[in-house]
């Protein structure tokens, strides 16, 4: 079946370094992708989204890249801070569609 | 903007009782809301889609008579876990559709003793 998944379950980076979290999707017809951040005991928080007619979108300290050729999505976080420690989920869908969530990647920021 | 609240944030109940969880969109109207369940260290599992003014659509394997959903207004959806049992203990999260994006509530931790 169709699925959205993440390459790595855990990622540790030094504070101040940049981090890249990856996601693979299998539904080539998907046209909307979202990254969420979930801190322990809280609901997912919207970070950034991108439509399939774009390759790149930037937010505050975050950049999402979409490679439709290989069906790959990534989230780049610049100058990571302790508050960036969380689980990051990519999701496929939007509009009236159900969201399909990836496995999640736990990002740990080391001091 | 796009704030979603849930109430209660935590609830402990005895086995056999029913528990109601509220999900509200505070600064926008949501025709569609979603209910998810999340187990520790796992991703979110969609339980049902809540549509204002109509019946909810349940995912395969989710018992509609056990997890009652009511979407009575454009800003409120409720999930009632009926005759709760310990295996229903989990983290329940709702989301509300705003445009193309879903915005999530803070979650409700349910513990059934």
The confidence score (pLDDT) of residue A95 equals 57
For residue A109 the two structure tokens come to 């920021």
pLDDT given for residue A94 in this prediction: 59
B81 to chain A, closest Cα gap in Å: 19
Tell which residue, A99, A87, A73, has the closest CA to residue A43: A87
**Interval B5-54: pLDDT, tens:** 999 999 999 999 999 999 999 999 999 999 999 998 888 999 999 998 88
Question: If we measure between CA atoms, which residue out of A78, A88, A77, A103 comes closest to residue A34?
Answer: A88
Handedness of CA A37, A49, B2, A4 (dihedral sign): negative
* pLDDT score for A1: 34
Yes or no, beta carbons of A46 and B49 under 8 Å apart: no
Closest residue in A to B100 (Cα–Cα) = A95
Return the half-sphere exposure (C-beta side, CA atoms, 13 A cut-off) of residue B54.
Answer: 8
- Write phi, then psi, for B15 (nearest 5 degrees): -60, 135
Q: With an 8 Å Cβ cutoff, is A96 touching chain B?
A: yes
Instruction: Please indicate whether residue A2 or residue A108 has the higher confidence score (pLDDT).
Output: A108
Inform me whether the C-beta atom of residue B107 falls under 8 Å from chain A C-beta atoms. Answer: yes
Shortest distance between the Cα of A102 and any Cα of chain B, in A, equals 7
Q: Which residues 14-33 of chain B have a CB within 8 Å of chain A?
A: 32
Contact B49 A98 (CB under 8 A): yes
Confirm if A84 and A11 have CB atoms less than 8 A apart: no
Check whether A27 has a pLDDT greater than 70: yes
pLDDT digits (tens, 9 = 90+) for B53-97: 889 999 999 999 999 999 989 999 999 999 999 999 999 999 999
């Amino acid at each position: 079946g169709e699925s959205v998944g993440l390459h790595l379950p855990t990622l540790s980076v030094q504070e101040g370094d940049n981090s890249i979290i990856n996601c693979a999707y299998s539904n080539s017809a998907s046209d909307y992708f979202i990254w969420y951040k979930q801190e322990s005991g809280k609901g997912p928080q919207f970070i950034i989204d991108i439509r399939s007619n774009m390759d790149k979108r930037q937010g505050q300290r975050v950049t999402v890249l979409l490679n439709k050729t290989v069906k790959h999505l990534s989230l780049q976080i610049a100058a990571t801070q302790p508050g960036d420690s969380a689980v990051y989920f990519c999701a496929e869908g939007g509009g009236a569609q159900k969201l399909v969530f990836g496995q999640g990647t736990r990002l740990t920021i080391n001091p | 903007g796009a704030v979603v609240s849930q109430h209660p944030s935590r609830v402990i109940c005895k086995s056999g009782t029913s528990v109601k969880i509220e999900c509200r969109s505070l600064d926008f109207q949501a025709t569609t809301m979603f209910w998810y369940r999340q187990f520790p260290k796992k991703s979110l599992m969609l339980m049902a889609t809540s549509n204002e003014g109509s019946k909810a659509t349940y995912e395969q394997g989710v018992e509609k008579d056990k997890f009652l959903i009511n979407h009575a207004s454009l800003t409120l959806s409720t999930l009632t876990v009926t005759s709760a049992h310990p295996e229903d203990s989990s983290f329940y999260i709702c989301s509300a559709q705003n445009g193309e994006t879903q915005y999530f509530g803070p979650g409700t931790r349910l513990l059934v003793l």
